[in-house]
Structure 1
Amino acid sequence: MSFAEKLAQVAPTGGRVRIFSHYAAVAWLLPMSRAAIALALQAMLRALPEGKACATAGVDLHLVDDAVMSAANRRFMDCTGPTNVLSFPGGGDLPGILLFSPDTLARECLLYGQEPGLHTLRLLAHGMGHLAGLDHGPDMDRQCRACLAAAQKIVAAHDAGFSGA
């Protein structure tokens, strides 16, 4: 089955997923293919409650380095330094936006012994929870688990090299 067929199977009527890379090193820092990440995000969109704007409008994932993430974290969150993922909910026809730092992902995997593919999906699920309008707490935890489970299922079927299922 082709990538397009798998994507159509996961989200025949869901929002679109676009991935933008803003630096060259992302090619060797990502623990899974961009196609697998797109499938995972489509599955996560379908796992969101009906009526959430990002579930229909989609999500734009921007892969950024720590310098860009630090600047965004300072400007929008009034925090110093890089973080792993930042979420900016969309609305109407505007997709939600996720900023994701593969630099921070790699560092966290080394520091905390995280499996990179699974940690990627956890961070994206966390970002999707915020795109759905949730703050940290039990509802967010439930939504993140639902997004993660949906993503793991489709990524494992797509990417035989993925060990996080």
Structure 2
Amino acid sequence: MTMDMARADALEIIVEVEAGDWEATVPDVEELVSKAARKALRQALAVDAGALPDGEGEVSILLSDNAAVRVLNHQYRGKDKPTNVLSFPMLGDEDEDEEFELPEGMERPPYLLGDIILAYETLMTEAAEQNKPVANHLTHLVIHGVLHLLGYDHIEDAEAETMERLETAILADMGIADPYRDGAGPTREDPQSEETTH
């Protein structure tokens, strides 16, 4: 195992089902979400070895519903409607660059990469409208959310192209077709739909 893969694997992925009929709709949904997140972390580190700090870390992925996501979307983005996925990064450049001495005998606590929350009903509607398997669309949105936590964005065209290329490569490696092939996908339909929240 390479050093970069070990760093990706040192990140604990916490998946929680809060609301929605996720488990009935997607068999082994927690395993699928963890696998997608881990794959995104590994591929992002292969592209940029500095994407994650050293040491142990955590990322939280919450499988929820439109009601919860609508509240967060309104509270943090001023948009009173649900969206498919929201990302809340916890690390900034100042956190990654800050090195400090711990008192003797004290272990460094895990860093928090951030939180991702997905809305069940919105994801189901999009998968149906785009004629995509629900598991594939969920996998894509988890990868999309993880890349937001790592600093990727899609506000500018060049940023969107970089992010889409990486998403497409990760999905292809997982045997999932290019979600942008027909002009659909989370960044092309509504550039603000999965905005990273700082």
Q: What TM-score, normalized to structure 2?
A: 0.63
RMSD: 2.4
Q: Where in structure 2 are the equivalents of 1:86-101 lying within 5 Å?
A: 86-91=86-91, 92=95, 93-101=111-119
CA distance in 2, matches of 1:54, 1:119: 29
Q: Does 1:111 align with 2:129?
A: yes
Which of 162, 167, 176 is residue 144 of structure 1 equivalent to? Answer: 167
Q: Would the aligned equivalents of 1:44 and 1:125 in 2 still touch at CA under 8 Å?
A: yes
Task: For structure 1, list consecutive stretches of 5 or more residues without a partner in the other structure.
Answer: 1-10, 156-165
Which of 14, 39, 43 is residue 39 of structure 2 equivalent to? Answer: 43
- Deviation sequence 1:95-154 (CA, Å, 0-9, x none): 22111112211111222222212111111121122112122122211222233234x25x
- The structure with the larger Rg is 2
CA 59–43 in structure 1, closer or farther in 2 if over 3 Å, else same: same
Q: What TM-score, normalized to structure 1?
A: 0.75
Secondary structure at the residue paired with 2:112?
coil
Secondary structure at the residue paired with 1:18?
strand
Partner of 1:159: none
1:29 offset after TM fit, Å?
Answer: 3.3
**Moved >4 Å (runs of 4+):** none
Number of matched residues? 143
Given residue 61 of structure 1, which amino acid in structure 2 is its aligned partner? Answer: I
Percent of residue pairs bearing the same amino acid type: 26
CA 12–85 in structure 1, closer or farther in 2 if over 3 Å, else same: same
1:42 offset after TM fit, Å?
Answer: 1.0
- Deviation sequence 1:14-69 (CA, Å, 0-9, x none): 21111011126332233653112212211111111222248963421011111001
Secondary structure at the residue paired with 1:124?
helix
Partner of 1:134: 152
Secondary structure at the residue paired with 1:106?
helix
CA distance in 1, matches of 2:161, 2:43: 16
Partner of 1:8: none
Task: For structure 2, list consecutive stretches of 5 or more residues without a partner in the other structure.
Answer: 96-110, 155-159, 177-198
Given residue 67 of structure 1, which amino acid in structure 2 is its aligned partner? Answer: A
CA 12–53 in structure 1, closer or farther in 2 if over 3 Å, else same: closer
